[in-house]
A and B are shown apart, each in its own frame.
Chain A
Amino acid sequence: GAGVSQSPRYKVAKRGQDVALRCDPISGHVSLFWYQQALGQGPEFLTYFQNEAQLDKSGLPSDRFFAERPEGSVSTLKIQRTQQEDSAVYLCASSLMSGNTEAFFGQGTRLTVV
């Protein structure tokens, strides 16, 4: 595609509900990253994939967060039993190679937990 596409753009979830956020990276991009951005803050790293392999998940805040990229293309970030502190913008980024290359960000999914 022309750019990184994320869906939905906005999601309102009741506390305790499970949510799934989708990321369509740029075709052919090897690396895919998920970041969490709180209001007025910089993006914070969650997890990193190289093709279908999840090489780094050190930023996932709890075992309620799970990410996958089964075919090395589309990725899904799942949050189980959402809590209010999960409210944030979730950004996906992809890059052609791993390391030292430009990352292209999607517009993000704004998650609000009520």
Chain B
Amino acid sequence: QQPVQSPQAVILREGEDAVINCSSSKALYSVHWYRQKHGEAPVFLMILLKGGEQKGHDKISASFNEKKQQSSLYLTASQLSYSGTYFCGTERSGAQKLVFGQGTRLTINP
């Protein structure tokens, strides 16, 4: 079952904040976040394991609420380089493979 991402698209001015959500109807073992720029490979951002942890580096952080099967990605003080499509990939216990959401397109304008 594909996770649902919201919103589908966001347009921001440089310096503004954004939150991208990822929800699953299935019990999850971990959530992976990737960013993909047009015509390029998806680039890994972070993994969150069940346990409700929150992770972050630089101005990008994420949380994982395993009870709600939800993860959120937080981008603060957005930079032009943050533009791209963000995908969450969910992993069920023992499954190895990732099931990706449909993506959230983020556009940062100067």
Contact = CB atoms under 8 A, between A and B. Distances in A.
Contact of B42 (A41, A45, A48, A105): A105
B49 A100 contact: yes
Contacts of B84: none
B96 A56 contact: yes
Contact of A43 (B49, B87, B91): B87
A31 B30 CA distance: 17
Contact of A45 (B34, B44, B99): B99
Contacts, number: 59
A42 B96 contact: no
A35 B32 CA distance: 15
Interface in B38-53: 39-44, 47, 49
Contacts of B91: 99-100
Interface size class of B (residues with CB under 8 A): 20 to 34
Contacts of A48: 96-97
Given A42-B2, A42-B87, A91-B41, A100 B102 contact: no
A31 B96 contact: yes
Contacts of B30: 100
A53 to B, nearest CB: 12
A40 B102 CA distance: 8
Interface of A: 4, 31, 33, 35, 40-45, 48, 50, 55-56, 59, 91, 98-108
